[in-house]
Amino acid sequence: MVPATIPSAANLAWAAPPRSLSDAGTHAFVDRSFPRRAPMKRPRAPLPRTADGAPHVPVLLAEVIEALALPGAAIAVDGTFGAGGYTRAMLAAEPNLRVIAIDRDPGAIAGGGDLVAASKGRLSLVEGRFGKLDDLLAAQDVDAVDAVVLDIGVSSMQIDQPERGFSFRNDGPLDMRMARSGRSAADIVNDTDEADLADIIFHYGEERRSRAVARAIVEARKAGRIESTAALAGIVAGVVWADPASGIHPATRTFQGLRIAVNDELGELVQALHAAERILKPGGRLVVVTFHSLEDRIVKQFLTIRSGRAAQGSRHLPSQSAGPDASFTLATKGAVLPSEAETRANPRARSAKLRAAVRNATAAPPPLAAIEALAALPERPPRGRGGRR
Ligand SMILES: C[S@@+](CC[C@H](N)C(=O)[O-])C[C@H]1O[C@@H](n2cnc3c(N)ncnc32)[C@H](O)[C@@H]1O
């Protein structure tokens, strides 16, 4: 049952017509008028806003709250605070709930100050990576929780600020670091050898022309470092053709690959699933919203194995019998998708998938190597032995 206090998906539509999305990869980029080689400046429509003014529209919000099935006096973790859309709804849904919300982006944490003040002690904000969920909670003297929710990917605030360097639409520094520290996209683009660059773009960006893109980048580097999103988008658009009618910008997949590599997004997701398994109480719920197939595959396969449903003898998954050993029971049949109304109102919801599971009483088993492998770049076969390269 979805509490009445939770805004419905229809209420979350913003007043301005949805603009084309300058998305760096998590959600599909739709622009029917992009030029072939040079990025184009377009007038900016107002940012989409929630009814209460937050600059990010939470995706599948009512479905998330329903899937969490929050018990009254409980502790819930929002591993991806962002603009606080899920946290706000959780606090509103259960007056006795305490929420610990995590984000690796210091800007997101700073933006949550008002919500902390309004929560009257029920909300704690923690800056850090959700892959370290259990360590971050231990530092708060919490060793078991009733719910964990993850809304994987980037926020609208991150995409829409050119200076964060996530978007090829508005020129900005080639950065893409959610945490604003560590190796930037420019570091990877300028300092990685051609073969490794092609691997990142192929495996994390799912770009079939990865080798041509990597070659063009290495060629362009001879003239100087590539430091801006527009420069990189122009280089990619020189070697990747995309049908303008498709609405997909040629640099979409390359930007996605780099962003995943910069933030180790798949590795973080794998660690977070295992950490959630360790800290959820029996009966506690794990709810994960993903935005592309690489992420969803990890969540789906993790839950398939841990609920004892992995196909026996599968080439990719270790077999595991159903029954008392399973650490989770699936709470959703397949993935929950956004309604047509939500997708119409918020195109960024288009590729979202929600999966949920309930923690069983079984002790957390060791991490799954098969799932960890899904986050890693595959070993490159030696030269001359065939394979993709
Ligand atoms: C899609 S937004 C979440 C939006 C949020 N559910 C809302 O309704 O406002 C994803 C957020 O997760 C954060 N994030 C992504 N990866 C993270 C990680 N490994 N650890 C912590 N936060 C992360 C991003 O910085 C971003 O703010």
- Domain boundaries defined on the chain: 61-155+265-375
Cα–Cα distance for residue pair 187/115, rounded to 1 Å: 35
**pLDDT tens-digit series, residues 53-105:** 557 899 999 999 999 999 988 999 999 999 999 999 999 999 999 999 999 99
- Is the pLDDT at 241 greater than 70, yes or no? yes
Tokens 């973790």 label which residue?
77
Q: Residue 248: what pLDDT?
A: 86
Indicate if ligand 1 lies below 6 Å from the C-beta of 83: yes
Q: Which of 100, 91, 97, 92 is CA-nearest to residue 73?
A: 97
pLDDT, greater one: 56 or 289: 289
Indicate if ligand 1 lies below 6 Å from the C-beta of 80: yes
Cα–Cα distance for residue pair 197/188, rounded to 1 Å: 8
Q: Which of 376, 341, 285, 270 is CA-nearest to residue 8?
A: 341
Cα–Cα distance for residue pair 302/284, rounded to 1 Å: 17
Indicate if ligand 1 lies below 6 Å from the C-beta of 59: no
- Is the pLDDT at 10 greater than 90, yes or no? no
Side-chain half-sphere of 75: how many Cα atoms within 13 Å?
A: 15
Indicate if ligand 1 lies below 6 Å from the C-beta of 137: no
Q: How far is the CA of 129 from the centre of ligand 1 (A)?
A: 9
Q: Residue 359: what pLDDT?
A: 98
- Rounded average pLDDT over 303-317: 74
Q: Residue 246: what pLDDT?
A: 85
- Is the pLDDT at 323 greater than 70, yes or no? no
User: Which ligand 1 atom is at minimum distance from the Cα of 57?
Assistant: 8
Indicate if ligand 1 lies below 6 Å from the C-beta of 58: yes
Tell me the best of 178, 294, 353 to mutate to test the pocket of ligand 1, counting ligand atoms within 8 Å of each CB and taking the most.
178
User: Using CA positions, which residue lies closest to atom 13 of ligand 1?
Assistant: 80
Indicate if ligand 1 lies below 6 Å from the C-beta of 102: yes
User: What is the value of pTM for the model shown?
Assistant: 0.85
- ∠ CA 57-60-61 to the nearest 5 degrees? 70
Q: How far is the CA of 152 from the centre of ligand 1 (A)?
A: 6
- Rounded average pLDDT over 125-146: 97
Q: How far is the CA of 84 from the centre of ligand 1 (A)?
A: 9
Q: Residue 324: what pLDDT?
A: 63
Q: Residue 316: what pLDDT?
A: 52
Taking all residues of the chain, what is their mean pLDDT, rounded to a whole number?
A: 85
Indicate if ligand 1 lies below 6 Å from the C-beta of 108: yes
Q: Residue 133: what pLDDT?
A: 96
CATH class, 61-155+265-375 region? alpha beta
Of 52-61, 160-169, 340-349, the poorest mean pLDDT is in 52-61
Q: Residue 104: what pLDDT?
A: 98
